[in-house]
DNA sequence: TTGTAGCGCAGT
DNA sequence: CTGCGCTACAAG
């Protein structure tokens, strides 16, 4: 039998199948989806089995065998393997990269090299040494006598330590390199390679009783008085009647760990290392909740989705529900239906809104059937949650983007909450969009996809046949009322230009100031939102306007409070805080502190007694701090919750009646065709935090562009008006969703060769596009190549960047054309060392 | 990606 | 002539 393997080397030359022999001993364990150890081009690495066959086209005598299977059960399924191939086509990434992103970090095995003693040769080597002592004379004998103890000490060194690397050995026996060499030549020592996982399965020392409880009690009673520890321990074990962790035992009987060892020696119990799953939510009680009575809106939506789930009919629903309309309850109940059918469900949530509150709702309803995957878990915890899924111990996976790869076997329902969030697009290779992967995965499983949002992306709304031109693939479901029956908050747009004219130079308008003051009186709470973008923490000289920049990246350095350093966001370059301006020597150089810090200071100035809880990168970096701050706010230990994106989404506090947006238009100024969409989404989301329960809410939006349609529409809670306007604009300019897009970036240390290569690449692509249009599938050009132009960040890590934007109609053809052209240029780009990357459906054109 | 073979150049 | 660095190339 032969296995077709993708080796874990994401590179052009290795992005293909390699045949390997399956040794007879492994024939029953190697499956499609297995992770195996293979030797490949003089080294050992991990590979993924993506196919099995009885024949090989490769010369069989040259095939190498699979040396080891790395997991008890294959970590991937056939379905995930086929999904990886699809991703590789769609996103022009290496299959190894696509497979890699599906596995938890713990399973990225890397080869380790170390020196081993070939025990079989040792005795013969010793005896040959003895012989040489007898047979030879003079210098040879002297040498043998000299090296013999050295050999012995090398051997005992290696036997005492495990996994000694060659450099380590040479370092330790630096004086005797000659002897070490000899030992390698004679075969006594060997360097071997083996794949080792980044992380081991956690083992816990566990007590197993070897006799029944009755017998143990009897023995315990007979123990001498001074052995009371042993007696207590034994009784505790007898009491428990199940295998017990030593740590638990120690809690019951302090000092039991020692006694347990003695008892084990007496043969009464056994101590064994047992595989354990770390539970990040261990010891936390979740209050069980039952299904709520659905509102009529919810009921209609629920029935539509449930019907498809029950019928196992692949369908994509776009659930447009205003903030507070109760989307989560609909999710919970549809998931229940899915589980009732014996199928599993995946719930994707943007990282930022995967709050404890959210987890609680799912754990509360489905208990320990839920696995949670988010970035704040340690690698070990993440691995264990993943294994729960893999082993079928849970039926629901909730997590951020990469949870779409949860290794379930029969996915019946995939829910993507806040579908419009750009964080569903991975910015690193493989640059996949979880929404598209979800739809593909659902197709493969006859599963249902629910995309939920209060502000659907234009891509999604376009797919619902919004314009009734028959192009839609999604079914639109809507919920226009808040589940609580409450009203959407009243939104006031405040023209900051007027404020300035009236002499108000503070960052708070009079209206917002008054509103905050009022909440303080009424003991109600306020959320203040500050968009991070635009309020960068750069360092500027107030005398000459000098801005500290990264010497490698053409981007401003960011000031870091903690280390008093200025850091580059892109390459990590850091230098110490400046006391004087390097350009004009002025002392008036200072950082424009994180926007939130400035706002906080100002708040304390305006309202000396105010209690502000600030949430930004600085205050939430420690593990669990995010949760702590939110709990404090919930317990009304703060009057104001001030923060960046983190406070914009998903939070639900009953006493929040005021939301203030300090500067609504910072995003609008960015050179991005999605700027309007982002602004609308953000404002709508933030506004949705106010007045979610009994108390009515109020929102103040401060802006310098009050007439902008995104701001206007969001203030009226009018998604339809916004969508109509925005779609019109996109259509006119040929942007998504009417055209698809690809961003091709070229990178090099020097500009001229970079421009030359990028230009000829663009020309070639245009030529091919034109040739294809000529063949007449469509009258319109199927491909429009813009650029090359300098990227918005023109240099990163000393490499200049130029980019081409490709707009196109049919995605497979365009990907193919780009792939072909890339292949054609492969040699040239490699030779000139020009970096090249493709982003399909980019979220940001930079 | 990485190990190696092949090549040229410098240093002994 | 050895040794090191660079490049090109292949990997089952």
CB of A9 lies under 7 Å from some atom of strand C: yes
Q: Is A338 annotated as a binding residue?
A: no
Which of A317-321, A436-440, A450-454, A705-709 bottoms out in mean pLDDT, i.e. has the lowest? A705-709
Give the mean model confidence (pLDDT) for residues A252-257: 82
Task: Give the DSSP H or E segment for A182.
Answer: helix A177-185
Split at pLDDT 50, 70, 90, the class of A430 is very high
B strand bases under 7 Å from protein CB: 1-4
Binned at pLDDT 50, 70 and 90, residue A417 comes out as very high
Question: Can you tell me the distance from the alpha carbon of A402 to that of A408, in angstroms, rounded to the nearest whole number?
Answer: 13
Q: Tokens for A110?
A: 């890397």
Task: Please tell me whether A544 is known to bind a ligand.
Answer: yes
* Å separating the CA of residue A82 from the C1' of nucleotide C11: 24
**Dihedrals phi, psi of A189, to nearest 5 degrees:** -110, 145
Convert the pLDDT of each residue in A345-379 to its tens digit.
999 999 877 777 788 899 999 999 999 998 888 88
C7 closest protein residue (CA to C1'): A831
pLDDT at A722: 96
What confidence tens digit (pLDDT) does each residue in A63-103 have? Answer: 999 999 999 899 999 999 999 999 999 999 999 999 999 99
Q: Is there a binding annotation on residue A584?
A: yes
Q: What is the pLDDT of residues A542-562, one digit of tens each?
A: 777 787 888 876 777 777 766
Question: Was A782 annotated as part of a binding site?
Answer: no
Sign of CA dihedral A514, A516, A518, A520: negative
A93 is in an annotated binding site: no
- Strand C nucleotides, any atom under 7 Å from protein beta carbons: they are 8, 10-12
Q: Which element (helix H / strand E) includes A794?
A: strand A783-796
Q: pLDDT tens for residues A202-253?
A: 888 888 888 888 888 888 888 888 888 888 888 888 887 778 888 888 888 8
What are A576's strand-pairing partners? A565
Which pLDDT band, with edges at 50, 70 and 90, does A170 fall under?
confident
Task: Work out if A64's Cβ lies within 7 angstroms of strand C.
Answer: yes
pLDDT digits (tens, 9 = 90+) for A272-285: 888 787 777 777 77
Helix (H, G, I), strand (E, B) or coil at A204: strand
β-strand pairing of A396-399 with A565-567: unpaired
Per the prediction, chain A carries an average pLDDT of 86
pLDDT interval class at A532 (50, 70, 90): low
For A273-299, b/e burial (b = at least 16 CB within 10 A) is eeeebbebbeeeebeeeeeeebbebbe
Å between CA of A511 and C1' of B8: 77
Cβ atoms of A629 and A653 within 8 Å: the answer is no
- Res A289 pLDDT > 60: yes
Q: What is the pTM of this model?
A: 0.87
């Amino acid at each position: 039998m032969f296995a077709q393997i993708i080796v874990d080397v994401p590179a052009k030359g290795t992005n293909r199948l390699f045949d390997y022999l399956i040794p007879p001993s492994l024939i029953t364990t190697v499956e499609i989806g297995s992770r195996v150890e293979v030797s490949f081009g003089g080294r050992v690495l991990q590979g993924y089995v993506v196919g099995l066959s009885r024949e090989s086209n490769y010369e069989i005598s040259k095939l190498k065998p699979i040396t080891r299977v790395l997991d008890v059960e294959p970590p991937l399924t056939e379905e995930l393997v086929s999904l990886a191939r699809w991703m590789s086509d769609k996103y022009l990434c290496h299959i190894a990269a696509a497979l890699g992103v599906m596995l938890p970090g713990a399973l990225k095995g890397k080869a380790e090299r170390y020196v081993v003693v070939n025990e079989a040769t040792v005795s013969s080597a010793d005896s040959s040494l003895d012989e040489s002592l007898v047979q030879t004379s003079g210098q040879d004998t002297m040498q043998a006598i000299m090296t013999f103890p050295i050999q012995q000490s090398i051997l005992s060194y290696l036997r005492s330590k495990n996994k000694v690397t060659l450099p380590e050995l040479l370092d330790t026996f630096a004086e005797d390199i000659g002897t070490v060499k000899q030992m390698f030549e004679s075969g006594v020592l060997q360097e071997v390679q083996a794949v080792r996982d980044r992380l081991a399965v956690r083992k816990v020392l566990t007590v197993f009783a070897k006799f029944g409880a009755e017998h143990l009690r009897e023995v315990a009673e007979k123990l001498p008085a001074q052995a009371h520890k042993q007696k207590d321990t034994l009784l505790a074990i007898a009491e428990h009647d199940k295998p017990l962790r030593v740590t638990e035992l120690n809690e019951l009987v302090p000092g039991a760990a020692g006694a347990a060892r003695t008892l084990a020696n007496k043969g009464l119990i056994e101590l064994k290392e047992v595989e354990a799953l770390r539970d990040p939510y261990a010891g936390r009680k979740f209050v069980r909740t039952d299904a709520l009575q659905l509102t009529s809106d919810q009921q209609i939506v629920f029935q539509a989705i449930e019907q498809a789930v029950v019928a196992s009919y692949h369908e994509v629903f776009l659930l447009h529900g205003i903030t507070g309309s109760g989307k989560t309850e609909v999710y919970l109940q549809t998931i229940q239906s899915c589980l009732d059918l014996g199928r599993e469900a995946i719930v994707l949530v943007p990282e930022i809104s995967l709050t404890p509150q959210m987890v609680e709702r799912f754990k509360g309803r489905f208990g320990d059937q839920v696995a949670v995957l988010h970035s704040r878990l340690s690698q070990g915890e993440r691995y264990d949650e993943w294994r729960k899924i893999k082993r079928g111990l849970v039926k629901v996976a909730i997590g951020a983007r990469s949870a779409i790869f949860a290794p379930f076997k029969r996915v019946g329902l995939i829910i993507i909450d806040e579908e419009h969030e750009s964080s569903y697009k991975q910015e690193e290779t493989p640059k996949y969009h979880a929404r598209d992967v979800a739809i593909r995965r659902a197709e493969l499983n006859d599963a249902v996809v629910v995309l939920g949002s209060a502000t659907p992306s234009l891509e999604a709304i376009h797919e619902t046949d919004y314009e009734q031109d028959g192009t839609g693939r999604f079914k639109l479901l809507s919920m226009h009322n808040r589940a609580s029956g409450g009203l959407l908050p009243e939104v006031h747009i405040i023209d900051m230009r007027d404020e300035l004219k009236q002499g108000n130079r503070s960052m708070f308008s009079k209206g917002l100031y008054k509103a905050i003051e009022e909440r303080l009186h009424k003991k109600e709470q306020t959320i203040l939102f500050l968009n991070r973008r635009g309020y960068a923490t750069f360092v500027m000289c107030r005398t000459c306007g000098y801005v500290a920049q990264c010497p490698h990246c053409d981007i401003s350095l960011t000031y870091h409070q903690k280390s008093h350093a200025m850091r580059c966001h892109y390459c990590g370059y850091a230098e110490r805080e400046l006391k004087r301006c390097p350009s004009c020597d002025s002392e008036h150089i200072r950082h424009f502190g994180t926007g939130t810090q400035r706002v906080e200071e100002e708040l304390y100035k305006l309202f000396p007694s105010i209690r502000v809880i600030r949430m930004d990168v600085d205050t939430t970096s420690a593990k669990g701090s995010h949760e702590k701050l939110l709990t404090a706010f919930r317990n009304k230990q703060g009057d104001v919750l001030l923060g960046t994106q983190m406070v914009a989404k998903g939070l639900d506090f009953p006493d929040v009646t005021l939301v203030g947006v300090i500067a609504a238009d910072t995003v609008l100024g960015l050179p991005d065709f999605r700027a309007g969409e982002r602004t609308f989404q953000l404002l709508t989301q933030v506004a949705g935090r106010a007045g979610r329960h009994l108390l009515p809410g109020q929102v103040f939006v401060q802006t310098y562009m009050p007439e902008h349609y995104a701001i206007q529409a969001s203030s009226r809670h009018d998604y339809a008006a916004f969508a109509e306007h925005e779609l019109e604009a996109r259509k006119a300019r040929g942007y998504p969703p009417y055209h698809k897009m690809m961003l091709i970036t070229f990178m090099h240390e020097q500009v001229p060769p970079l421009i030359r290569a990028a230009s000829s690449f663009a020309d070639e692509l245009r030529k091919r596009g034109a040739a294809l249009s000529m063949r007449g599938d469509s009258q319109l050009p199927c491909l429009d190549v813009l650029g090359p132009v300098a990227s918005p960040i023109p240099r990163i890590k000393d490499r200049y960047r130029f980019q081409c934007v490709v707009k196109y109609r049919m995605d497979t053809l365009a990907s193919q054309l780009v792939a072909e052209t890339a292949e054609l240029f492969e040699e040239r780009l490699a030779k000139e060392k020009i970096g090249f990357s493709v982003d399909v459906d980019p979220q940001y054109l930079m």
